Structure 1
Amino acid sequence: MNIDYPIHFDSRGHTASTGDEDHIRDMIEQLLFTNPGERVNQPDFGSGLLQMVFAPNSPELASALQFTTQASLQRYLGDLIDLRDLRVTVEDAKLNVTVIYAVRRTGSKATETFVRNAA
């Protein structure tokens, strides 16, 4: 079992745990919404996607962020997932990220959408 994210307590008062596939989803979410430099011993961990909410929209920026995000996912989670597709969209101050992947160990496919508001 793995510690569930965000960290919380279960009904017994213990740290909540989760299965492998939910844990992989949690790790993807953490990578997507961590800015490089936030982790002490891994200064390049993260995607920088949250900066996109405040940046002026342009096709060049979207392409660059998509490329760097895909590279981060492959670097840090490439041993766990086979990334099939990644879509990043910004609507007003809302960031939508859709990740399509397969879990390498089981072969199961998943599509997850992560949403963050600027506020």
Structure 2
Amino acid sequence: MAMNIDYPFHFDSHGRTATTGDDDHIRDMIEQFLFTNAGERVNRPDFGSGLLQLIFASNSPELAAALQFTVQAGLQQWLGDVLEVLALEVISVESRLQVDLQYRVRRTQEVRVATFERSVP
């Protein structure tokens, strides 16, 4: 079994780099994709969803549909080898952004549900 570095990076109680299990690592990878803006990664300038740039954008059904399509396509591109997106909903209310995601872990075929949230003070 591979050891995965926990996200966000921190040290465990023994002063070593904290590690995490496979399921939590997949969730961490999803979170990194969702809240990374394109251009933030030096060697992967296309990585990221850019969702945080849209927190203050005006809400509309067209924007919500476009967001869901682009986020699902990005998850498929970057994490398609480890998960399959089953359902995705992006909700933006004032300065809060919430992503509800249902996905299947390809290795185990287990279905997981996760909510990711960010807000701007």
| TM-score under structure 2 length normalisation | 0.95
The answer as to whether partners of 1:36 and 1:43 remain within 8 angstroms in 2 is yes
The answer as to whether partners of 1:48 and 1:65 remain within 8 angstroms in 2 is no
Greater CA deviation, 21-30 or 35-44? 35-44
CA-CA distance at 1:72 after TM superposition: 0.4
Cα distance in structure 1, aligned partners of 2:51 and 2:88: 12
Aligned-pair identity in percent equals 63
Indicate the residue corresponding to 1:93 in structure 2.
95
Structure 2 unpaired stretches of 5+: none
Cα distance in structure 1, aligned partners of 2:67 and 2:87: 14
1:102 matched to 2:104? yes
Q: Deviations over 1:27-48 (max 9, x none)?
A: 0000000011111111110001
CA-CA distance at 1:118 after TM superposition: 1.6
Query: What RMSD, in angstroms, separates the aligned Cα atoms of the two structures?
Result: 0.8
Structure 1 unpaired stretches of 5+: none
CA-CA distance at 1:103 after TM superposition: 0.4
The answer as to whether partners of 1:86 and 1:97 remain within 8 angstroms in 2 is yes
Alignment partner of 2:115 out of 110, 113, 116: 113
Q: Deviations over 1:38-89 (max 9, x none)?
A: 1111111000111121111111111111111000000000000011011100
Q: Deviations over 1:81-110 (max 9, x none)?
A: 011011100122110101100100011111
Indicate the residue corresponding to 2:20 in structure 1.
18
4+ residue stretches of structure 1 with deviation over 4 A? none
Q: Deviations over 1:5-48 (max 9, x none)?
A: 00011010000000111000000000000011111111110001
SS across alignment from 1:25: helix
SS across alignment from 2:8: coil
